[in-house]
Amino acid sequence: MLRTMRRKVPWIVVFEAAMMMRSRWKQLPPDDRQRLAELARRSKGNPLNLTRQERADFRRIAMGLDLFGLARDFVPMGRAMRRRR
């Protein structure tokens, strides 16, 4: 199953998404990047591992990444990929 999934993933799209996310990450101030990474490590993928204040801090910093803007920028690429098939 993993082999067939690997073939179906358009790797250029994955690369573009990673590059877009990296540019958003670099726009954050260094102290926010450090705090967000620290909170992500502490949570171990489960937001319930964080206190209410830490979750609020995580959300505040994550809003600075403008993930909705990232999705909006990424949509044209997805449409182009669907047309080629």
Measured CA to CA, the distance from residue 68 to residue 70 in angstroms comes to: 5
pLDDT score, position 84: 52
* Dihedral sign, Cα of residue 33, residue 38, residue 43, residue 48: negative
Higher pLDDT, 30 or 84: 30
What are the pLDDT digits (tens) for 44-58? 989 899 999 999 999
The Cβ-side half-sphere exposure at 12, using a 13 Å CA radius, reads 4
**Which pLDDT score is estimated for 1?**
53
pLDDT in tens, 56-69: 999 999 888 887 88
Range 18-45 average pLDDT: 90
SS3 46: coil
Q: How far is CA 84 from CA 60, 63, 66, 77, in A?
A: 38, 33, 29, 11
